[in-house]
Chain A
Amino acid sequence: MTTSFSLPRRRFVQGLALGGTALGLGLTPTQLFARQGQTGAPELRGNQFQLNIGAADVNLTGRNRPATLVNGSLPAPTLRWREGETVTLRVTNHLPETTSIHWHGLLLPFQMDGVPGLSFDGISPGETFTYQFPLRQSGTYWYHSHSGFQEQTGLYGGLIIDPAEPDPHTVDRDYAVVLSDWSDQDPKRIYATLKKLSHYYNFSERTLFDTLRDFREKGVVRTLKDRHMWNRMRMSETDLADVTGYTYSFLVNGHTPAANWQARFEPGERIKLRFINASAMTIFDLRIPGLDMTVVAMDGQPVKPVRFHECRLGVAETLDVIVEPKDHRAYTLFAQTIDRSGYARGTLTPDSSLSAEVPELDPVPLLGHREMGMGAMDHGVMGHDSGAMKTMDHSRMNHGGMDHGDMNHGDMSGGMDHGSMNHQGMNHGTQSGMDHSAMGHANHDTNAAVPFAVSADNPDLPARQSATEHADSEYGPGVDMRAMSPAPMLDDPGIGLRDRGWKVLTYADLEYAHGLPDSTRPEREIVLHLTGNMERYMWSFNGIPFADAEPLELYHNERVRLTLVNDTMMHHPIHLHGLWSDLELGDGRLLRKHTLLVKPGEKLSYLVRADALGRWAYHCHLLYHMEAGMFREVRVVPPPQSRHQHQEGHS
């Protein structure tokens, strides 16, 4: 193996303190991959690239551990492209196993999308695959492996496409901030461990002493009552993350908190920070103490600017913000995990010798009624029980004809107090939750009713009366709960962020910058419930894992509504490849995204223009959830009539 590889025609290595200039220069692949992997991402510019995927050791925790790297760096190089150009990427696989690169959020021919089994066969060991596609968009995106667990071991990097027209938001400095999670454990082992003991990594379980404290503070009866539903459901109030800081180190551009990645600025400058959550499993809450941020784009797409102080960033989402620090001081980029088991940290500083205080981790928030999808429901009428038959009857009876008059309001308010720490800040909570669920499907659609997609051949598409109705497939060993009254929660900052004394950005604050990107009138509606069994570590849509599912068919160029109902206690970042997801914000407003973080107990809808024929992946972007089966193939096919005509034309 002494092939030298062609260098990008124009390459540019920027900023970071690493020997990045040596990467790929004058080294044979053997030499290159024998070395220690670098941490920190160089930036490569141009439209032709040679990317070498190989294994190397990295040392992030004091131990050398195997990683999967592109051109020897973790994260992979940040690729900087220009809208309107066509990029060519020769990707060579130096691993002993199949690999792939998926360009997350990009509109491209499906054969270039990089999903083995759907787009292509994957890149076999020793092979080179050439990706080539025109760039039809600008913004901040990322790329990662779609094979096995390579994404967990380092195969991810930032992707910046500069706009063809000048950017309306001019800045003095521009940094990609790639957030990720790293474990010294083999990801196969992590997955197997979750299958054996799903709470293995949760070291925030409620203890006897928590119970005694609750007895003292809330009284014995109240405490027992509050705990009743958790005990009945056999679920943990602290189950916010499957894999935690127990095994993860959280990285900013490949730097641990101790290594402290630095970005330089001069006071008075405008700085763009492009946050990319490239984690396998970690949802981050981002903030810069002492500095407000102004969001200008999310998932690469421009939004109307909003000033905020903190934001939850789901796995695979990207967020472009502008900050304008006026003082000669350092600022900490602080990204704590949703379960408060750790944080990623970097520093924004005018002087490399300065650093700023790192905030304490917040206390572990407790899941509450909202996360259970109970809205304002009484404890007693949960759609959950041990016996399958009992559950079925129980919940069906309730979700069909839910009647406010029948609810025990006294008991209900007592129950709600249980989560008062979390809930107080949410004046929109109780009422809207109730109203929406009671009104069901009809309420979010002020236009004429949109017909549900129904197919006798696809168990995902049974006949249904409402989006919140639970399909038969949701009753089985793989589904441990079904949200009783899932509610829209777009303006809810989310668990742990509801009582902040500062502005927390929500989807409801955002809107596509240039009016409506597409029509607000869908032709059909497809409903998928996000389902799982935490104890067994099974994850699925509609209770059906990918292995047992049929592809979802979209008709070419149709406008379809996808409605997601989260019937689990976890957040799920749901990503549709190749097509935009236009989140319905209400009042006819849309937010254009590629990945949507769906809260526990939430129901949300988005519109998709099926304008790209082919086979696309559609899945939860939590790596181990995807692996467990929270995955679908979406096929964009010619509409039935045109297929018919097509056949006639041939006959």
Chain B
Amino acid sequence: MKSLTITNGALTALLALFALFTTTSAQAMEGVPARFGQILVDQLEARDADDGTVAAWSANAWYGGDINKLYFATEGERLMDRGGETESLETRLAWSRAFAPYWDWQLGVRRDWQPDDPNRDWVSVGVMGVAPYFFETEANLFLGESGHSELRLEAEYELLFTQRLILTPEVEASLYGKEDRDLGIGKGLATVEAGLRLRYEIRREFAPYIGVHWERKFGDTADFARDHGEDASDTLLVAGIRVWY
């Protein structure tokens, strides 16, 4: 209940801010607001894990003008065997505002939908953009209830073999400010994930891919995993599609 109130409050403030900044934004020549939207399913893939096939996704969407956008992101994993079970699901809604040629800052709210454990709600502050050498970069600080905090850093690169055959290395690290025993998370560096995906753009908007996904838990987080009989490190083959509209 408490978490719901926080989420609602933050959401209301966010939407108000968004409305405030977008009503004064650019109008096209004939007075039609120049707003656009995109839905990008960056990863929708099957992972060949020990306990069966896991479906994983990472997607985002935005709507807005050149400067202000409403941004939504989701990622998660679902075990497909034995009737299916969602292992993790995260959604984030943010106001995204361009502040430099290649950078937006983002202010938002995030909810982790836990299948068994309590949901976690967070307020997020972050920057997203393209760093020199074309690294797609994202850094977010999440502040949760009871003093929980997470810092998440992500970087991605596109290496062109041809105009359509593209290799994408990416890396993501999560650090936590406080232990969260319910979720098996320790303080400090908790997880590092890395991926290498090779896609073929049949159209720009539609690209099947294959790749490798690697993740490793560190410190107490790794210990918690071992206590539960899980490996601290995992390497999986993946196959999926990348689509956008």
A positions within 8 Å CB-CB of B: 98, 116-117, 147-148, 192, 195-197, 200, 203-209, 231-234, 386-388, 476-480, 533, 535-536, 538, 545-548, 626-629, 631
Q: What B residues does A98 contact at CB under 8 A?
A: 30
B130 and A234 contact, CB distance less than 8 A? yes
A147-B30, A538-B66, A545-B26 known; A205+B163 contact, CB < 8 A: yes
B positions within 8 Å CB-CB of A: 26-30, 34, 36, 38, 66-67, 98-103, 129-134, 159-163, 204, 244
Q: What B residues does A148 contact at CB under 8 A?
A: 30
A208-B159, A208-B160, A386-B101 known; A116+B30 contact, CB < 8 A: yes
A387 and B100 contact, CB distance less than 8 A? yes
B26 and A386 contact, CB distance less than 8 A? no
A386 and B161 contact, CB distance less than 8 A? no
A196 and B159 contact, CB distance less than 8 A? no
* Interface SS of A by simple majority: loop
Q: What A residues does B159 contact at CB under 8 A?
A: 208
The docked-state distance in angstroms from the alpha carbon of A148 to that of B34 is: 12
The docked-state distance in angstroms from the alpha carbon of A545 to that of B204 is: 29
**A-B contacts, 8 listed (Cβ < 8 Å):** A197-B204, A197-B244, A204-B163, A231-B133, A386-B131, A388-B100, A388-B101, A627-B34
Q: When the two chains form the complex, which single residue of A147, A209, A477, A631 contacts B67, counting CB atoms closer than 8 Å?
A: A477
Given pairs A234-B132, A628-B34, 5 additional interface contacts (CB within 8 A): A116-B30, A196-B38, A232-B132, A477-B101, A627-B28
A197, closest chain B residue (CB): B204
A196 and B163 contact, CB distance less than 8 A? no
B66 and A536 contact, CB distance less than 8 A? yes
A631 and B29 contact, CB distance less than 8 A? yes
Q: What A residues does B66 contact at CB under 8 A?
A: 195, 477-478, 536, 538, 545
Q: What B residues does A547 contact at CB under 8 A?
A: 26-28
B134 and A477 contact, CB distance less than 8 A? no
Q: Smallest distance from the beta carbon of B104 to chain A beta carbons, Å?
A: 8
Q: When the two chains form the complex, which single residue of A197, A204, A533, A629 contacts B101, counting CB atoms closer than 8 Å?
A: A533
Q: Smallest distance from the beta carbon of B51 to chain A beta carbons, Å?
A: 37
The docked-state distance in angstroms from the alpha carbon of A386 to that of B29 is: 30
A208-B159, A231-B134, A536-B66 known; A196+B36 contact, CB < 8 A: yes
Q: When the two chains form the complex, which single residue of B34, B67, B132 contacts A231, counting CB atoms closer than 8 Å?
A: B132
The docked-state distance in angstroms from the alpha carbon of A233 to that of B132 is: 6
B203, closest chain A residue (CB): A200
The docked-state distance in angstroms from the alpha carbon of A70 to that of B54 is: 58
Q: What B residues does A195 contact at CB under 8 A?
A: 36, 66
A117-B30, A627-B28 known; A234+B102 contact, CB < 8 A: yes
Q: Smallest distance from the beta carbon of B25 to chain A beta carbons, Å?
A: 8
A197-B204, A207-B162 known; A386+B133 contact, CB < 8 A: no
A479 and B204 contact, CB distance less than 8 A? no
Q: When the two chains form the complex, which single residue of B34, B99, B160 contacts A477, counting CB atoms closer than 8 Å?
A: B99
Q: Smallest distance from the beta carbon of B140 to chain A beta carbons, Å?
A: 18
Q: What A residues does B101 contact at CB under 8 A?
A: 386, 388, 476-480, 533, 535-536
B27, closest chain A residue (CB): A547
The docked-state distance in angstroms from the alpha carbon of A208 to that of B161 is: 5
The docked-state distance in angstroms from the alpha carbon of A205 to that of B204 is: 13
Q: What B residues does A207 contact at CB under 8 A?
A: 160-163
The docked-state distance in angstroms from the alpha carbon of A98 to that of B32 is: 13
The docked-state distance in angstroms from the alpha carbon of A192 to that of B35 is: 9
A117 and B29 contact, CB distance less than 8 A? yes
A385, closest chain B residue (CB): B132
Q: What B residues does A386 contact at CB under 8 A?
A: 100-103, 129, 131-132
The docked-state distance in angstroms from the alpha carbon of A42 to that of B122 is: 66
Q: What A residues does B103 contact at CB under 8 A?
A: 386, 477
Q: Smallest distance from the beta carbon of A334 to chain B beta carbons, Å?
A: 25
Q: What B residues does A388 contact at CB under 8 A?
A: 99-101
Q: Smallest distance from the beta carbon of B33 to chain A beta carbons, Å?
A: 10
Q: What B residues does A204 contact at CB under 8 A?
A: 163
Q: What B residues does A476 contact at CB under 8 A?
A: 100-101
A234 and B134 contact, CB distance less than 8 A? yes
Q: What B residues does A535 contact at CB under 8 A?
A: 101-102, 130
Q: Smallest distance from the beta carbon of A521 to chain B beta carbons, Å?
A: 35
Q: Smallest distance from the beta carbon of A45 to chain B beta carbons, Å?
A: 34
The docked-state distance in angstroms from the alpha carbon of A515 to that of B8 is: 73
The docked-state distance in angstroms from the alpha carbon of A547 to that of B22 is: 13
B161 and A209 contact, CB distance less than 8 A? yes
Q: Smallest distance from the beta carbon of B107 to chain A beta carbons, Å?
A: 16
The docked-state distance in angstroms from the alpha carbon of A627 to that of B99 is: 22
The docked-state distance in angstroms from the alpha carbon of A98 to that of B31 is: 13
Q: What B residues does A548 contact at CB under 8 A?
A: 26
